[in-house]
Structure 1
Amino acid sequence: MAAPRVWEVGALCRAIADALEARFNPVAVRGEITGFSRASSGHCYFSIKDPQGQLRCAMFRRAASLLDFSPRDGELVEVRGKLGVYEARGDLQFIVESMQRAGQGALFEQFLRLKAQLESEGLFDAARKRPLPVQPRGIGLVTSLGAAALHDVVTALRRRAPHVPVVLVPAQVQGAAAPQSLISALSRLYRLAQQGPAEGRPPIDTILLVRGGGSIEDLWAFNDEHLARTIVQSPVPLVSGVGHETDFTIADFCADLRAPTPTAAAELVAQPREVWLGALDLIEGRMADGIQRLLDARHQRLDQAAARLGRPSGLVAREQLQLARTAQRMRHAVLLRLQRMEQAQQAAAAALPVQVQRRIDGLRERVDRAALRLELLDPRLVLQRGYALLADADGRSVTSVQQARPGDALKATLADGVVDVTVASQPRLL
């Protein structure tokens, strides 16, 4: 037998591409979309599959711009284009030139049936959705230990709220065993949340159920009916962050809140620490302003009271004036009384002169005694006996040695004037 031809790798890939071109193209293929993604360049990459096989596809920006719908995983489509080889990797590749819907696709139809059933039972009702706690004391987290979603969530929480503890219960997030694994992890967190805080374990005020993006098959565990019913039984608000922004699962509709990505889920339950610190600063400033306004009002009232009280010397002068006025009124009243009695005596032609004279003498004696008592109440008499009234520089009376300190300037009001004095030594109690 002749030895086989030895090919260069690139040459063989080109030969295969030429053979495919001559044998099949152009070609139309029907299948279910999986792993759909749109690059920033506008090109679309995905695979189409059926139970017997899967074909990698690329749809460049020009052809993608002509689409009249947004392709998504699980949709059954009919694509037309050319079959070839991506020589850089030696992969079989279908270059899609046009695409149209051909049906919903088996998985997508199953998804829609379950969604309609659970929606009719009220599992998606907005009325049963609960608001997230403003400042959770602890966060429960369910995801895979090997998932990128775990790193994304932990990074976001550490950046925004490093003071909030996280209780992680790992679970499988892909494969046939994933639904039951997720249910078991959630059930364990539910028990911890209902038990409340314990030694070494924080309270759980909200739960995150997260997973990174993938195809409809990759995310299918989150479309499980039993998992959906477990989610709605959560004793605390639950946030679903599964896949990318365009991915929707049954878990998203059952959760209290859906986040477009795992990172967004973490950000929804953890306000940045700077926000709370700023709020505390604002409250502190308002409290300080309120206290200062209160103190200013109290000081003003004290100033007004001090102004009404005045200096001790002023009080003495006012008391002296008041006493003098009282004595004058009393003398005037007695004299007026005596004049009236004398007039009555003269009118009665000197009747009972002895009794009247005694009455007059008694009244005069009472007036003299009253005048004497008034004079005894005169503060000047106290000052004339060697006493003095002490006041500080602000005019407040000094009545105790505890109000004076060495070096204090005081004013002493004496019987005939005011003397400025200075405290020379530490005052002593008697």
Structure 2
Amino acid sequence: MQPEQEVWTVTQLNRRVGELLQGAFARVWISGEISNFTQAASGHWYFSIKDEGAMVRAVMFRGRAQAVGFVPKVGEKCEFRVSVTLYEPRGDYQVQVEALRRAGRGDLHQAFLALKEKLSAEGLFAQERKRSLPAMPRKVGVVTSLAAAALRDVLSALARRAPHVQVIIYPAPVQGPAAAGQLCQALRDAIARAEVETLLLVRGGGSLEDLWSFNDEALARVIAASPIPVVSGVGHETDFTIADFVADVRAPTPTAAAELCCRSRAACLEQLSGTTRALVVRQARLLELASLRLDRTVASLVSPQQRLRQQAEKLQGLCNRMARAATQPQAVRVARLNAATSRLARNLPAVDGMRAQLERQHIALAASMRRLLDQRGHRVAAVTQTLRALDPRNILDRGYAIVRTQDGIIVKNALDLKIGDPLGIELGKGGLQVRVLQAHGLL
């Protein structure tokens, strides 16, 4: 009886095949033509690689694709560094692309990647160092060849969109061994002359070799050091150069560079019209408010004619009073004076009576003061006699004495003393210094 064999699922089989493929093939370089190219919204690239006899599916994930520096085109021959994998859900054999370069141009592409990595490490591609473009430039400079189709595209776009913007051309070849140096010199001239507000560095599409002047390190450093914002419009939308990465703004085409550097005349006129309309509305509103304030102010004012009429009426009243006062009889005025004199006499005080009353009060005050002084003198004499009776000097004069120790303490008890203690004795007249010979208490 044969042992029962293990049964695999399709998933297990595909997984095992994928492991075998990955283990059997190291990362290799292959060459072929790109077909069925799709750039997903996620940033991943999906395409096929084919030659005359075969085709294989390929995928390049976003992180790897961003490092390529250009977007490949269908039919373009490239070289791919791949690892062999299996897409398990469908069982399809495919390759996962880690790097790619255009076929036959590996050295140039490697030089491009090396310079890109070097300048990126120095911060020349950093977004925070890039300058903003002026919104309304009056002059725009174009650095390109006089014979380039890109120049015609730029001039046509600016003439159509912004005929008010003056264009100054700084000619330089855009292809050939000496092109990079002359492009640098044209940029330096534009910076030194300082007559434009934005610089456009433009060229039409071409192969990697055709665009190589824009991958020059010296040119990249001139762009980075420029105080004037630089817009790079080199090649087609899928072409990338070092100048694109270091410029302040990258445009996909020269025409797009012209459109990005300034606002269109139509947009400016539309904004101006909108601003004018808003200004008219605002001005009308201000005039309405000013008219209302004027009406309120006028309503609160008194006209000069009305004020003169009021003053004339007041003056007429004063004149009438003066006339009436002048025509009053003299007797009436005399009677009024006599009445006022009588009222004044009645209200005057009786001075003679008050003088006699004041004299009496003065005499009474003097007598009262003498009595008070006599009383106070008797009290002072009595107190003085008491003080004299209590004066210690009077007691000493009667034969008493005050005994003090050497420290000035009055001795009250003989038993507090010791034989030989010095004492001071104060008498009624004079004093003595003695020593204790004997001490005894009360008998």
In structure 1, what is the Cα distance between the partners aligned to 2:299 and 2:138? 55
**Which whole-Å deviations, capped at 9, do the CAs of 1:188-229 have from their partners, x for residues lacking one?**
222322xxxxxxxxx311110112223323222211112112
In the alignment, the residues of structure 2 paired with residue 342 and residue 222 of structure 1 have an alpha-carbon distance, to the nearest angstrom, of: 124
- Asked if the contact 2:31/2:77 (under 8 Å) is kept, the reply is no
Residue aligning to 2:254: 262
Tell me the residue number matched to 1:246. Answer: 238
Instruction: Tell me the amino acid that sits aligned with residue 171 of structure 1.
Output: A
Shift, 1:261, TM fit: 1.6
1:68 aligns with 2:64: no
Residue 231 (structure 1) aligned with residue 227 (structure 2): no
Equivalent residue, structure 2, for 1:109: 110
Offset of residue 134 of structure 1: 1.3
C-alpha separation in 1, matches of 2:191 and 2:342: 114
Distance 1:339 1:322, change over 3 A: farther
The answer on whether the counterparts of 1:75 and 1:101 sit within 8 Å (CA) in structure 2 is no
Shift of 1:33: 7.1
- Provide the residue aligned with 2:341 in structure 1: 345
User: C-alpha offsets along residues 56-112 of structure 1, whole Å, 9 cap, x if unaligned?
Assistant: 9799xxx89x54236638952289xxxxxxxxxxxxxxxxx9876475442322211
Alpha carbons 1:240, 1:265 under 8 Å: kept:
yes
Q: How many residues align?
A: 281
Deviation track 1:313-343 (CA, whole Å, cap 9, x = no partner) reads 53344224434666789899999x9997554
Deviations, residues 289-333 of structure 1 (Å, cap 9, x unaligned): 454444444444444444344556533442244346667898999
Q: Which amino acid aligns with 2:59?
A: D
User: 1:146-225 maps to which residues of 2 (within 5 A)?
Assistant: 146-193=147-194, 203-225=195-217
Is the CA contact 2:145–2:171 (under 8 Å) kept in the aligned structure 1? yes
Are 1:157 and 1:267, in contact at CA under 8 Å, matched by a contact in 2? yes
Look up the match of 2:269: 277
Q: Quote the Cα distance in structure 2 between the aligned partners of 1:118 and 1:102.
A: 22
Question: Residue 75 of structure 1 contacts residue 103 of structure 1 at CA under 8 Å; is this kept in 2?
Answer: no
- The SS at the match of 1:181 is helix
Distance, in Å, in 2 between the alignment partners of 1:149 and 1:260 is 12
List gaps (5 residues or longer) in structure 1: 1-28, 40-45, 49-55, 80-96, 194-202, 351-430
Local SS of the residue matching 1:207: strand
- Give the match for residue 376 of structure 2: none
Instruction: Tell me how far apart the structure 1 counterparts of residues 182 and 344 of structure 2 sit (CA, whole Å).
Output: 128
**What residue number does 1:129 align with?**
130
Decide whether the 8 Å contact of 2:32 with 2:77 is kept in 1.
yes
Contact 2:81 2:100 (8 Å CA) reproduced: no
Question: Compared with structure 1, are the counterparts of its residues 37 and 224 closer, same or farther at alpha carbon in structure 2 (3 Å cutoff)?
Answer: farther
Describe the superposition over 1:152-194 as per-residue Cα deviations: whole angstroms up to 9, x where unpaired: 211211111111111112322233332223223222222322x
Residues 99, 264 of structure 1: alpha-carbon distance in 2 compared, 3 angstrom cutoff: farther
Alpha-carbon distance in 1 for matches of 2:318, 2:52: 115
User: How many angstroms apart in 1 are the aligned matches of 2:249 and 2:209?
Assistant: 23
Contact 1:77 1:99 in 2 (8 A): no
Q: Distance in 2 between matches of 1:163 and 1:315?
A: 62
Q: Find the aligned partners of 2:241 and 2:287 in 1 and give their Cα distance.
A: 60
Q: Which runs of 4+ in 1 moved over 3 A?
A: 29-34, 36-39, 56-59, 97-105, 282-317, 320-335, 337-343, 345-350
Change (3 A) 1:67 1:326: farther
Aligned residues of 2:173 and 2:182 also touching (Cα < 8 A): yes
- Higher-Rg structure is 2
| Runs of at least 5 residues in structure 2 that lack an aligned partner in the other structure | 1-28, 39-46, 66-70, 83-92, 347-443
Deviation at 1:268, TM superposition (A): 0.9
Q: 2-side partners of 1:338 and 1:114: how far apart?
A: 126
Q: 1:345 to 1:160 in 2, by over 3 A?
A: same
Cα deviation digits, residues 201-260 of structure 1 (max 9, x gap):
xx3111101122233232222111121122223231111111222222111121111112
- Compute the RMSD of aligned alpha carbons: 4.5
Opposite residue 169 of structure 1, the aligned amino acid is Y
Q: Distance in 1 between matches of 2:154 and 2:267?
A: 19
How far is 1:32 from its partner? Answer: 7.8
Percent identity over the alignment is 45
Distance 1:339 1:297, change over 3 A: farther
Letter in 1 for 2:208: I
Q: Are 1:74 and 1:108, in contact at CA under 8 Å, matched by a contact in 2?
A: no
Cα–Cα, structure 1 residues 150 and 324, in superposed 2: closer, same or farther, change >3 Å? same
Q: TM-score, normalised by structure 2?
A: 0.52
In structure 2, do the counterparts of structure 1 residues 168 and 312 end up closer, same or farther at CA, with 3 Å as the change threshold? closer
Change (3 A) 1:276 1:286: same
Partner residue, 1:77: 80
1:293-304 to 2 correspondences below 5 Å: 293-304=285-296
Distance 1:232 1:125 in 2: 10
> Equivalent residue for 2:88?
none
Distance apart, 1:270 and its partner CA: 1.6
